[in-house]
Protein backbone atom coordinates (compact mmCIF):
# COMPACT_ATOMS: atom_id res chain seq x y z
CA UNK A 1 0.00 0.00 0.00
CA UNK A 2 1.27 3.45 -0.93
CA UNK A 3 0.78 5.88 1.97
CA UNK A 4 1.40 9.61 1.64
CA UNK A 5 2.54 11.30 4.84
CA UNK A 6 2.26 15.05 5.35
CA UNK A 7 2.51 17.41 8.30
CA UNK A 8 2.63 21.04 9.31
CA UNK A 9 0.65 22.40 6.39
CA UNK A 10 -0.49 25.35 8.54
CA UNK A 11 -3.38 26.01 6.16
CA UNK A 12 -1.35 25.76 2.95
CA UNK A 13 -1.75 22.90 0.48
CA UNK A 14 0.88 23.47 -2.18
CA UNK A 15 0.25 22.16 -5.71
CA UNK A 16 3.64 20.43 -5.43
CA UNK A 17 2.40 18.54 -2.36
CA UNK A 18 -0.76 17.48 -4.20
CA UNK A 19 1.36 16.23 -7.11
CA UNK A 20 3.72 14.33 -4.79
CA UNK A 21 0.79 12.65 -3.00
CA UNK A 22 -0.91 11.50 -6.24
CA UNK A 23 -1.09 7.73 -6.31
CA UNK A 24 -1.38 7.44 -2.54
CA UNK A 25 -3.96 4.93 -1.36
CA UNK A 26 -4.09 6.60 2.07
CA UNK A 27 -2.83 9.95 3.40
CA UNK A 28 -1.71 10.48 6.99
CA UNK A 29 -1.52 14.06 8.30
CA UNK A 30 0.60 14.44 11.45
CA UNK A 31 -0.94 17.69 12.69
CA UNK A 32 -0.78 21.46 12.44
CA UNK A 33 -3.34 21.19 9.67
CA UNK A 34 -4.28 24.86 9.88
CA UNK A 35 -7.84 24.75 8.57
CA UNK A 36 -10.40 22.08 7.63
CA UNK A 37 -10.11 22.87 3.92
CA UNK A 38 -6.65 21.28 3.96
CA UNK A 39 -8.17 17.90 4.82
CA UNK A 40 -10.89 18.36 2.21
CA UNK A 41 -8.28 19.00 -0.48
CA UNK A 42 -6.27 15.95 0.56
CA UNK A 43 -9.41 13.78 0.53
CA UNK A 44 -9.72 14.42 -3.21
CA UNK A 45 -6.61 12.22 -3.60
CA UNK A 46 -7.21 9.43 -1.05
CA UNK A 47 -8.81 8.76 2.33
CA UNK A 48 -7.18 10.85 5.08
CA UNK A 49 -6.40 10.08 8.70
CA UNK A 50 -5.25 13.14 10.65
CA UNK A 51 -4.28 14.11 14.16
CA UNK A 52 -4.55 17.53 15.75
CA UNK A 53 -1.41 19.61 16.18
CA UNK A 54 -0.64 22.22 18.83
CA UNK A 55 -1.72 24.99 16.40
CA UNK A 56 -5.00 23.31 15.43
CA UNK A 57 -7.55 25.20 17.50
CA UNK A 58 -11.16 26.20 17.10
CA UNK A 59 -14.39 24.27 16.71
CA UNK A 60 -13.31 22.43 13.55
CA UNK A 61 -10.27 20.91 15.31
CA UNK A 62 -12.14 19.52 18.32
CA UNK A 63 -13.32 16.46 16.37
CA UNK A 64 -9.75 15.54 15.36
CA UNK A 65 -7.93 13.26 17.82
CA UNK A 66 -4.53 14.25 19.18
CA UNK A 67 -3.21 10.75 18.46
CA UNK A 68 -4.34 7.68 16.57
CA UNK A 69 -3.15 4.08 16.24
CA UNK A 70 -4.19 2.29 13.07
CA UNK A 71 -3.43 -0.96 11.28
CA UNK A 72 -2.11 -0.75 7.73
CA UNK A 73 -1.59 -4.10 6.04
CA UNK A 74 0.21 -6.12 8.75
CA UNK A 75 1.67 -3.17 10.67
CA UNK A 76 0.55 -1.04 13.59
CA UNK A 77 1.09 2.71 12.99
CA UNK A 78 0.88 5.35 15.73
CA UNK A 79 0.28 8.92 14.57
CA UNK A 80 0.81 11.98 16.80
CA UNK A 81 2.02 15.53 16.34
CA UNK A 82 4.86 15.92 18.84
CA UNK A 83 7.19 12.91 19.09
CA UNK A 84 8.21 13.72 22.65
CA UNK A 85 4.56 13.32 23.69
CA UNK A 86 4.84 9.58 22.98
CA UNK A 87 3.93 8.11 26.37
CA UNK A 88 4.45 4.41 25.77
CA UNK A 89 7.13 2.08 24.45
CA UNK A 90 6.09 1.29 20.87
CA UNK A 91 8.25 -1.82 20.75
CA UNK A 92 6.53 -3.46 23.73
CA UNK A 93 3.12 -2.17 22.59
CA UNK A 94 3.48 -3.87 19.21
CA UNK A 95 3.68 -0.63 17.22
CA UNK A 96 6.05 -0.85 14.26
CA UNK A 97 5.80 2.73 12.93
CA UNK A 98 5.55 6.06 14.77
CA UNK A 99 4.74 9.13 12.66
CA UNK A 100 5.04 12.65 14.02
CA UNK A 101 5.49 16.21 12.78
CA UNK A 102 5.95 19.48 14.71
CA UNK A 103 9.72 20.01 14.29
CA UNK A 104 9.45 20.75 10.53
CA UNK A 105 12.61 18.60 10.19
CA UNK A 106 12.18 15.54 7.99
CA UNK A 107 13.68 12.35 9.38
CA UNK A 108 13.58 8.58 9.10
CA UNK A 109 15.04 6.58 11.99
CA UNK A 110 14.94 2.95 12.98
CA UNK A 111 15.15 2.62 16.77
CA UNK A 112 15.08 -0.92 18.13
CA UNK A 113 13.04 -2.15 15.17
CA UNK A 114 10.52 0.73 15.26
CA UNK A 115 10.41 3.10 12.29
CA UNK A 116 10.14 6.74 13.40
CA UNK A 117 9.06 8.98 10.52
CA UNK A 118 8.72 12.75 10.42
CA UNK A 119 7.68 13.96 6.96
CA UNK A 120 8.87 17.50 7.70
CA UNK A 121 6.72 20.48 6.76
CA UNK A 122 4.73 20.86 3.56
CA UNK A 123 3.34 24.28 4.53
CA UNK A 124 4.97 27.70 4.76
CA UNK A 125 8.76 27.46 4.81
CA UNK A 126 10.24 27.80 8.28
CA UNK A 127 13.80 28.97 8.74
CA UNK A 128 15.89 27.35 6.00
CA UNK A 129 14.32 23.92 6.33
CA UNK A 130 13.24 22.10 3.16
CA UNK A 131 9.56 21.78 2.20
CA UNK A 132 8.83 18.05 2.23
CA UNK A 133 6.36 15.18 2.48
CA UNK A 134 7.08 11.47 2.88
CA UNK A 135 6.07 8.36 1.00
CA UNK A 136 5.59 5.17 2.96
CA UNK A 137 5.36 1.88 1.09
CA UNK A 138 3.86 -0.89 3.21
CA UNK A 139 3.83 -4.45 1.98
CA UNK A 140 2.57 -6.98 4.49
CA UNK A 141 4.81 -6.56 7.52
CA UNK A 142 7.56 -4.52 5.87
CA UNK A 143 7.73 -0.77 5.40
CA UNK A 144 9.98 1.51 3.40
CA UNK A 145 9.94 5.29 3.92
CA UNK A 146 11.29 8.04 1.71
CA UNK A 147 11.41 11.82 2.19
CA UNK A 148 10.32 13.76 -0.91
CA UNK A 149 11.58 17.33 -1.18
CA UNK A 150 9.12 19.59 -2.97
CA UNK A 151 10.43 21.99 -5.62
CA UNK A 152 8.93 25.25 -4.35
Q: What is the pLDDT along the chain (152 residues), one digit of tens a residue?
A: 999 999 999 999 999 999 999 999 999 999 999 999 999 999 999 999 999 999 999 999 999 999 999 999 999 999 999 999 999 999 999 999 999 999 999 999 999 999 999 999 999 988 889 999 999 999 989 999 999 999 97
CB 10 within 8 A of CB 127: no
- Rounded Cα gap, residues 105 and 103, in angstroms: 5
Domain boundaries 2-149, corresponding CATH code: 3.60.21.10
Task: Determine the pLDDT at residue 152.
Answer: 77
pTM of the model: 0.97
Residue ranges per domain, the chain?
2-149
Amino acid sequence: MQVGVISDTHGLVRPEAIAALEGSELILHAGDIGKPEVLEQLKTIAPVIAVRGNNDTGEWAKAIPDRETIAIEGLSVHLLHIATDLDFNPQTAGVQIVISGHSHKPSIKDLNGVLFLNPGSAGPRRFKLPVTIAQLQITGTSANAEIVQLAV
